[in-house]
C-alpha cells in the first residue's frame, strides 16, 4: 500500500514520465490555483478507482453531500402528504411535552432532539423500516432516546396510542404498563419498546453487536436473518462516548452491511456545540471511513445544489469547508442579512452567487437532514449497500429545535427547554402550516393534539405505507418462532456426582457443564459461550477445538498450534464468541443473544464468562441496560474473590461485584462453593428463563461467581428439596460435630467454605464449640424475599405476619451466627436485620486487594481459619457463652496480631 509519500521508498522506473506529471501539476497550481489542482487530483483518483487501480481511500471528502443531485433516485412517495404527516407528528410531539410540563412542572421531556430528527425518522417509517406483521422479525430500529416523544406522536397518529396515553408521558405510576416511559424502556413498556438507548453510547454499541449476532445466527443456520437490517439513530454529541465509536471497526471487519447508523448532526449536544471550533461531520467521516465504513454525508438541502453548480472557482466549496460548526450554528439563528454578509459576503464571487436570493430565501436554505429527497437517496443507497460488506453511516446535518421557532432553533439552551408560550405555540403552528387544524383560540395550557380521521388521505397514506412495510413499529413481541427445548439432565447429573477425589475449581466444573450443555441434543446449538480474551485464564481454551470460535470468514490460515489437540479453531459455524479484549462488546453480545427470544423469536442461551472484576465495575451500565431489555442468560463471574485470585493485586481482585449485583433488580446473584451448587443454579435458571411463565419471572438473568481455587467437589447430598434450597439462597451443609457442648452457626459462601470447615474442627477440638455449617448461595435472593415479607407485614398490620424465609431457615440453627465469604462484609449483612434475635458477625474482604499468596491474603483480610474461630468465639462472648480469656486464647493460638492495620485502611 502506498500512502502519504512513502512512495519514495520505491524505485522510480521512469523518472522522465514522473517529472512530466509533476510539472503539469505545478503548472496548474501556478496558473489556476490550488482549488483547481485539488479538483484535478480528485478526478484522477476517481478515475483510478474506476479503473480498479487500488488506492487507499482518503479519510475525508469535501463538505458536500456524498450523493450528487444527478445520482439521486426518483422519490416514490407523495411529498405533500408526507410533509403534512410530518407536521402533525412534529406538532403532537411538541404538544405532549408542553402539556406534560404544564400538568406537572419539572416532569421534563425533550422538544428539540426530535424536532431536529423528524425527517430522519419519517423517511424510515414511510419507506424503509420493516415491521413484523408478516410474521418475520422485520428490521431492528434503535431510536435515539431523546427523540421518544416523536415516536409516541407517530404511534398516536396511527391510532396505537390515545390522548390519555400521551397525557401520561413521563407519568407512569398507577397505570401499570400503560404509562409512556420517558425514553425507550422495554422493562416499562414491554409491548412497545425493544431497545433502550438513552444512556449515551449504549444504543450504538448494542446495535452493532446485534447486527453481528444476526450474522452469527445466519451463519450457524439457526435463523434466517437476511431480511433484517439494524438501524441505529444517534446524536452527534453521543459520538463522544467511547462505546459509540470504540467498536466500529468490528462492523467492517465482520462485513456488517446489514447495519446502518444514522447520526443526527445538529451540531449541538446538551450544553452547547459538539465541535464549535471544528466540524463534527468531517471528523466522523474520517473516523468511520478510516474504520472501513461506507459514509454518506447529507449536509445540504436541494436548494444548495443550484449554488454548487455555479461554483466554478470553488469559492463556495472553500467557504463550506472552512466554516466551523460554531459559525454554522450561528447562521441557524441569524437572519438572511447576516448570512449574506458573513457567509457569502467576504468574497465578491460568492456574494454575486446569491444576489438574486432574498434574505428570507437565504435564511431558509435548508440543511440536508431536513430534506426528505436527500434523505431518501441516502437511505436507499444504504439499503442497496447489501452485499458490499460495508456497514453504512449516514451523517445528516440538521438544526436542533428545527421548526420549533426562534426561541428554540439552534439555541444553546434548546435541549433543556420544555415549555412554550402561547405565542411560541402559534408561531410553530404557522411554521408548520397547521392553521386549518389548530385554531387561534387554543388553550396554551392544554394545546390540542391533532388526530387524523380514519378516512383522511393522510391517515390512509400513512397506514398504507406501514402496511406495505409489514406493520406499525416499534413493537416488541415474544412469540417464539423457533422454540427451545430445555436440556436433558445429563450435564447436571455430572455436576451432582462430585469430583471423586480430584481437586478442581468451580470454573473447571462450569466448563464441563458448558461443554455438556453445548453437546445437549435439545439446546446444544442454542448455547452461546461468550468470552473476552480470557479463555485460557479460565481453562476454556479446551472448548476451542470442540465448539470452534465463530469467524464470519472461516479460518484462512493454519493456526500455529494446528498439531495440538486443543488448537485455535475458527469456523463460520463456530459457536464460541471470542470477543477479544472488550467487556463492553462482550456485554453487547450477551444482550443480543439474551434478547433473541424477543427480537427474533429464537431463544438463545448466552453464557458470558469474564473476569469478575471487569464485570459490574467496568460495564455496569450495560448490565443495567440488559435488565431494562429483559435479557435472559448467564453472566459467569470467573476469578471471583478478593483473596482467591491470588497474586494479581488491587485492580483484579473482586470482593465487591456481589454488592453491585445487589443493586440491579432482576439479577439473580449467586456465590456457589461447589460444582453441584453451580449445576443446581444453572438448571433452575434454565427452567425459569426458558421454561415458560409470566415475564416477571422469566425476564431475569443470572450472575454466578466462579473461583479458580482447586479442591475436591463433594457429591450433592440427596437431601429432599436441596436443589430448591440452593436456589433460594441458604441450606445446611453439615450438622455440628457431636461431642462439644456450646452451639454456634457458621455461614459460608464460595471458597470461604474451607476456612469455615477448618474452623468447625478447631472450635470442637479447642473450645468445646459445636458449630454447624450452612452454605449461603445467595444473600441477594434471601434479602429480596425478606424485604417482600417485611413490606407485606407493614401493609397488612392486622394479619398474621410473614416470617422472612432466611429467619425461618436459620430458626433451625443455634448459637451466634458467623458469616464468611471472599466478598465484602456488606454481602452477608444483607440478611442480618432479618435475624436480629441472633448475634451476627460478618467476615469479609473489605479493602483494596493486593498481591500475595491466598494464605497471606486471607490472614490480611481476616477471613482465614483463625479469624473464623475468633469471630465465632467473639459471638459467643457477646452471648455470654464464653469469657474474654477464651477469645484471647484464640488470638494467641492463631497468632493474630491485634494491632495489625485494618485491611480497609491499608
Ligand atoms: C451516558 C450519558 N451521559 C449523559 C447523558 C445526558 N444527556 C442527555 S442528552 C445529552 C446531549 C445529547 O446530545 P446529542 O447526542 O448531540 O443529541 P441531540 O443533540 O440529538 O439531542 C446528554 C449529555 C446521558 N443521557 N447519557
Ligand atoms: Mg446533537
Q: Is the pLDDT of residue 223 over 80?
A: yes
Q: State the Cα–Cα distance between residues 337 and 789, nearest whole angstrom.
A: 70
Q: State the Cα–Cα distance between residues 506 and 115, nearest whole angstrom.
A: 54
Nearest Cα residue to atom 23 of ligand 1: 270
Q: Is the pLDDT of residue 54 over 90?
A: no
CA of 207 to the centre of ligand 2 (A): 19
Three-state SS for 676?
Answer: helix
198 Cα nearest atom in ligand 1: 25
Q: Is the pLDDT of residue 429 over 80?
A: yes
Ligand 2 is an ion; its neighbours by CB within 5 Å are 235-237, 266, 268
pLDDT grade, residue 3 (50/70/90)?
low
Q: State the Cα–Cα distance between residues 580 and 554, nearest whole angstrom.
A: 17
Cα dihedral across residues 158, 469, 79, 268: positive or negative = positive
Q: Is the pLDDT of residue 847 over 80?
A: yes
Give the C-alpha distances (Å, rounded to integers) separating 797 from 587, 803, 804, 855.
44, 14, 16, 50
Reported as a single tens digit per residue, the pLDDT across 761-815 is 999 999 999 999 999 999 999 999 999 999 999 999 999 999 999 999 999 999 9
Q: Is the pLDDT of residue 701 over 60?
A: yes
Average pLDDT over residues 91-105: 94
Give the C-alpha distances (Å, rounded to integers) separating 275 from 197, 280, 329, 482.
23, 6, 10, 47
CA of 204 to the centre of ligand 1 (A): 13
What percentage of the chain has pLDDT greater than the value 70? 99
More confident residue, 60 or 130: 130
117 Cα nearest atom in ligand 1: 20
Give the C-alpha distances (Å, rounded to integers) separating 557 from 242, 255, 542, 570, 837.
32, 19, 20, 10, 66
Average pLDDT over residues 507-531: 97
On the 0-12 / 13-18 / 19+ scale of CB atoms within 10 A, 833 is: middle
pLDDT of residue 4: 60
Average pLDDT over residues 350-368: 93
pLDDT grade, residue 896 (50/70/90)?
very high
CA 631 to chain centre: 11
pLDDT of residue 42: 87
Reported as a single tens digit per residue, the pLDDT across 622-655 is 999 999 999 999 999 999 999 999 999 999 999 9
Closest CA to 600 of 264, 140, 159: 140
Q: State the Cα–Cα distance between residues 204 and 218, nearest whole angstrom.
A: 21
Q: pLDDT averaged over the chain?
A: 96
pLDDT of residue 1: 41
240 Cα nearest atom in ligand 1: 15
Query: What does DSSP assign to residue 474?
Result: S
Task: Quote the pTM value.
Answer: 0.96
Residues with CB under 6 A from ligand 1: 113, 116, 146, 198-200, 235-238, 264, 266, 268-270, 274, 400, 415
Q: State the Cα–Cα distance between residues 649 and 823, nearest whole angstrom.
A: 15
Listed in sequence order, the DSSP H helices in 354-505 are: 359-363, 372-383, 422-431, 457-468, 490-496
CA of 355 to the centre of ligand 2 (A): 32
pLDDT grade, residue 89 (50/70/90)?
very high
Q: Is the pLDDT of residue 854 over 70?
A: yes
CA of 397 to the centre of ligand 2 (A): 10
Amino acid at each position: 500500500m502506498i500512502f502519504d509519500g512513502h512512495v519514495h521508498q520505491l524505485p522510480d522506473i521512469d523518472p522522465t514520465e514522473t517529472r512530466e506529471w509533476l510539472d503539469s501539476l505545478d503548472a496548474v497550481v501556478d496558473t489556476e490555483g490550488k482549488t483547481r489542482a485539488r479538483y484535478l487530483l480528485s478526478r484522477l483518483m476517481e478515475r483510478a478507482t474506476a479503473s480498479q487501480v487500488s488506492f487507499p481511500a482518503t479519510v475525508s471528502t469535501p463538505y458536500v453531500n456524498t450523493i450528487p443531485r444527478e445520482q439521486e433516485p426518483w422519490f416514490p412517495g407523495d411529498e405533500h402528504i408526507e410533509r403534512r404527516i410530518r407536521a402533525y407528528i412534529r406538532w403532537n410531539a411538541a404538544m405532549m411535552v408542553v402539556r406534560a410540563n404544564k400538568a406537572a412542572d419539572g416532569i421534563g421531556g425533550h422538544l428539540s432532539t426530535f424536532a431536529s430528527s423528524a425527517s430522519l425518522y419519517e423517511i424510515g417509517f414511510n419507506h424503509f423500516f420493516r415491521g413484523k406483521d408478516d410474521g418475520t422479525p422485520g428490521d431492528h430500529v434503535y431510536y435515539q432516546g431523546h427523540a421518544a416523544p416523536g415516536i409516541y406522536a407517530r404511534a398516536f397518529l396511527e391510532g396505537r396510542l390515545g390522548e390519555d396515553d400521551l397525557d401520561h408521558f413521563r407519568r407512569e405510576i398507577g397505570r401499570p404498563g400503560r404509562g409512556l416511559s420517558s425514553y425507550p424502556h422495554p422493562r416499562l413498556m414491554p409491548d412497545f419498546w425493544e431497545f433502550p438507548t438513552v444512556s449515551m453510547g449504549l444504543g450504538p454499541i448494542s446495535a452493532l453487536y446485534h447486527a453481528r449476532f444476526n450474522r452469527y445466527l445466519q451463519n450457524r443456520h439457526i435463523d434466517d436473518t437476511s431480511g433484517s437490517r439494524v438501524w441505529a439513530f444517534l446524536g452527534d454529541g453521543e459520538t463522544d462516548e467511547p462505546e459509540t465509536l470504540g467498536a466500529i471497526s468490528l462492523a467492517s471487519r465482520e462485513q456488517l452491511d446489514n447495519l446502518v447508523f444514522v447520526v443526527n448532526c445538529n451540531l449541538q449536544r446538551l450544553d452547547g456545540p459538539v465541535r464549535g471550533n471544528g466540524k463534527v461531520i468531517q471528523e466522523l467521516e474520517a473516523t468511520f471511513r478510516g474504520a472501513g465504513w461506507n459514509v454518506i454525508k447529507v449536509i445540504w438541502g436541494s436548494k444548495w445544489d443550484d449554488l454548487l453548480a455555479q461554483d466554478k472557482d470553488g469559492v463556495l466549496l472553500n467557504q463550506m469547508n472552512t466554516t466551523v460548526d460554531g459559525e454554522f450554528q450561528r447562521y441557524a439563528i441569524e437572519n438572511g442579512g447576516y448570512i449574506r454578509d458573513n457567509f457569502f459576503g467576504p468574497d465578491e464571487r460568492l456574494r454575486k452567487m446569491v444576489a438574486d436570493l432574498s434574505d428570507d430565501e437565504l435564511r431558509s436554505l435548508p440543511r440536508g437532514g431536513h430534506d426528505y429527497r436527500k434523505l431518501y437517496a441516502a437511505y436507499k443507497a444504504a439499503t442497496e449497500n447489501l452485499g458490499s460488506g460495508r456497514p453504512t453511516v449516514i451523517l445528516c446535518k440538521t438544526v436542533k429545535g428545527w421548526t420549533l421557532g426562534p426561541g428554540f432553533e439552534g439555541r444553546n439552551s434548546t435541549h433543556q427547554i420544555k415549555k412554550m408560550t402561547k405565542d411560541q405555540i402559534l408561531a410553530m403552528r404557522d411554521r408548520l402550516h397547521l392553521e386549518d387544524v389548530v385554531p387561534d383560540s387554543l388553550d396554551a395550557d392544554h394545546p390540542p393534539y391533532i388526530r387524523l380521521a380514519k378516512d383522511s388521505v393522510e391517515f390512509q397514506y400513512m397506514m398504507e405505507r406501514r402496511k406495505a412495510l409489514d406493520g406499525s413499529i416499534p413493537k416488541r413481541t415474544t412469540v417464539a418462532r423457533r422454540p427451545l427445548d430445555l436440556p436433558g439432565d445429563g450435564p447436571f447429573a455430572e455436576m451432582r456426582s462430585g469430583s471423586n477425589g480430584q481437586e478442581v475449581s468451580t470454573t473447571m466444573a462450569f466448563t464441563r457443564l458448558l461443554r455438556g450443555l453445548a453437546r445437549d441434543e435439545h439446546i446444544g446449538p442454542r448455547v452461546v459461550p461468550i468470552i473476552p480474551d480470557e479463555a485460557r485464564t479460565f481453562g476454556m481454551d479446551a472448548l476451542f477445538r470442540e465448539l470452534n470460535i465463530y469467524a464470519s470468514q472461516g479460518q484462512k490460515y493454519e493456526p500455529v498450534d494446528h498439531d495440538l489437540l486443543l488448537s485455535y479453531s475458527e469456523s463460520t459455524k463456530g459457536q464460541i464468541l471470542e470477543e477479544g479484549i472488550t467487556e463492553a462488546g462482550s456485554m453487547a453480545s450477551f444482550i443480543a443473544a439474551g434478547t433473541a427470544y424477543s427480537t427474533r423469536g429464537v431463544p438463545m442461551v448466552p453464557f458470558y464468562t469474564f473476569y469478575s472484576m471487569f464485570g459490574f465495575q467496568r460495564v455496569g451500565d450495560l448490565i443495567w441496560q440488559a435488565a431494562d431489555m429483559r435479557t435472559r442468560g448467564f453472566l459467569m463471574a470467573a476469578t471471583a474473590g478478593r483473596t482467591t485470585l491470588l497474586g494479581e493485586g488491587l485492580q483484579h481482585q473482586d470482593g465487591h461485584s456481589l454488592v453491585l449485583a445487589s443493586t440491579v433488580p432482576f439479577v439473580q446473584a449467586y456465590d456457589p462453593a461447589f460444582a453441584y451448587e453451580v449445576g443446581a443454579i444453572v438448571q433452575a435458571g434454565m427452567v425459569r428463563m426458558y421454561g415458560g411463565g409470566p415475564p416477571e419471572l422469566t425476564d431475569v438473568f443470572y450472575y454466578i461467581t466462579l473461583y479458580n481455587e482447586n479442591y475436591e467437589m463433594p457429591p450433592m447430598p440427596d437431601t429432599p428439596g436441596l436443589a430448591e434450597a440452593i436456589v433460594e439462597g441458604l441450606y445446611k451443609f453439615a450438622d455440628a460435630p457431636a461431642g462439644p457442648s456450646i452451639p454456634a452457626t457458621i455461614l459460608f459462601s464460595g471458597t470461604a467454605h474451607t476456612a469455615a470447615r477448618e474452623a468447625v474442627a478447631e472450635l470442637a477440638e479447642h473450645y468445646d464449640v459445636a458449630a454447624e455449617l450452612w452454605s449461603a448461595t445467595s444473600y441477594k435472593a434471601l434479602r429480596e424475599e425478606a424485604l417482600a415479607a417485611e413490606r407485606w407485614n407493614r401493609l397488612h398490620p392486622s394479619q398474621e405476619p410473614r416470617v422472612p424465609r432466611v429467619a425461618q431457615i436459620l430458626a433451625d440453627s443455634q448459637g451466634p451466627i458467623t458469616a464468611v465469604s471472599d466478598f465484602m462484609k456488606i454481602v452477608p449483612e444483607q440478611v442480618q436485620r432479618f435475624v436480629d434475635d441472633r448475634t451476627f458477625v460478618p467476615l469479609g474482604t473489605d479493602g483494596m486487594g493486593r498481591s500475595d499468596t491466598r494464605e497471606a491474603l486471607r490472614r490480611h483480610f481476616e477471613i482465614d481459619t483463625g479469624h473464623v474461630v475468633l469471630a465465632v468465639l467473639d459471638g459467643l462472648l457477646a452471648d455470654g457463652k464464653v469469657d474474654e480469656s477464651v477469645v484471647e486464647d484464640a488470638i494467641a493460638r492463631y497468632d493474630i496480631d491485634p494491632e495489625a492495620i485494618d485491611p480497609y485502611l491499608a
